[in-house]
Amino acid sequence: MFNLLSRREFLGGLGALTVGVLLSNLVREGEAKVKKAEPWPYVKIDPKKAGELAYNAWFEVYCAQATATGIMELLADKVGEPWASFPIHALKFGMGGMLGWGMTCGSIVTASLVMGLVLPKETVNDMILDIVEWYAETSLPTFVPDKPKFVKDLPKTVANSPLCHISVGKWMKTANKAFNSPERRDRCARVAASVAYRTVQLLNAWKDGTYKPTNTWNGPAAVGIPAQQNCNECHGTNIPTAPKS
């Protein structure tokens, strides 16, 4: 119908200024459709599809952006805005635990961002803590892609940590493969996919009303400082005591 009425006819009929003000009101309305403080809309998506997308994206964009791609692209397709406009490339920095510093696995960072955008206040911390603890305690990768890029079977390892350095390092030791080997690359692509899959599972359960938190670790409460659960792995037997108030 819009094509039947040219912009010139439309403007001519109403007066340019009226339409100008109207345009700006409408655009502002469009921008504010999802309010800043409102959770971003979530609909159930297929965890297997999210995993496949993440796995295949990894070889271009690495862990953080790959996990975000797996989830956000499906939501952009099914929901549209604000997912469709979010610049997923801005999340690439999470790779290698922050561009090679080996800190938080980038997949965990972007899975947490998605949860932060979607979930209400009373659920968000629990589900993020769940995925962090799941990552640390699970024999990874859990995801098996339909079409593996390099190898069919890969060793799996439990990191006991959500840190890239420890997760990758323990796997490299078990597999006896270098960081730049095809096997290690395939492994990290599958880890990114595993996190995307698990994140979607948790969010779908929440959407169904069946989500139940499972996390057990609270660093500050347990040891008086933000910390992992396995102090001696870095400190050996010489574990310092946090000052008490």
Using CB under 8 A as the binding rule, the residues of this chain from 53 to 72 that contact a copy of itself are none
Q: Which of residues 116-155 bind a copy of itself (CB under 8 A)?
A: 116-117, 124-125, 128-129, 132
Q: Decide if residue 205 touches a copy of itself (CB under 8 A).
A: no
135 versus 143: smaller Cβ distance to a copy of itself:
135
Q: Cα(55)–Cα(154) distance, rounded to whole angstroms?
A: 14
Q: Which of residues 89-108 bind a copy of itself (CB under 8 A)?
A: 89-94, 96-104, 108
Q: Decide if residue 202 touches a copy of itself (CB under 8 A).
A: no
Q: At residue 51, what is the residue type?
A: G
Q: Which of 112, 157, 194, 199 binds a copy of itself (CB under 8 A)?
A: 112
13 versus 151: smaller Cβ distance to a copy of itself:
13
4 versus 146: smaller Cβ distance to a copy of itself:
4
Q: Which of residues 207-226 bind a copy of itself (CB under 8 A)?
A: 217-221, 224-226
45 versus 91: smaller Cβ distance to a copy of itself:
91
Token code pair at residue 78 = 């099914």
- The least CB distance from residue 146 to a copy of itself, in Å, is 27
The answer to whether the CB of 141 falls within 8 A of the CB of 107 is no
Q: Which stretch binds a copy of itself (CB under 8 A): 15-23, 152-160, 191-199, 203-211?
A: 15-23
25 versus 139: smaller Cβ distance to a copy of itself:
25
Q: Which of 58, 86, 143, 197 binds a copy of itself (CB under 8 A)?
A: 86
118: CB partners within 8 A, 6+ apart: 39, 40, 42, 203
Token code pair at residue 46 = 């297929």
120 versus 209: smaller Cβ distance to a copy of itself:
120
29: CB partners within 8 A, 6+ apart: none
3-state secondary structure of 126: helix
DSSP code of residue 239: P
Q: Which of 6, 12, 22, 139 binds a copy of itself (CB under 8 A)?
A: 22
- The least CB distance from residue 145 to a copy of itself, in Å, is 22
Give backbone dihedrals phi and psi of 139, rounded to 5 degrees, phi first: -75, 110
In 3D, which of 122, 117, 133 has the Cα closest to residue 214? 133
How many Å is the Cα radius of gyration of the chain?
A: 23
* Maximum CA extent, the chain: 83
The answer to whether the CB of 233 falls within 8 A of the CB of 161 is yes
Q: Decide if residue 158 touches a copy of itself (CB under 8 A).
A: no
DSSP code of residue 149: S
Q: Decide if residue 30 touches a copy of itself (CB under 8 A).
A: yes
DSSP code of residue 232: H
Contacts with a copy of itself by CB under 8 A: the residue count is 93
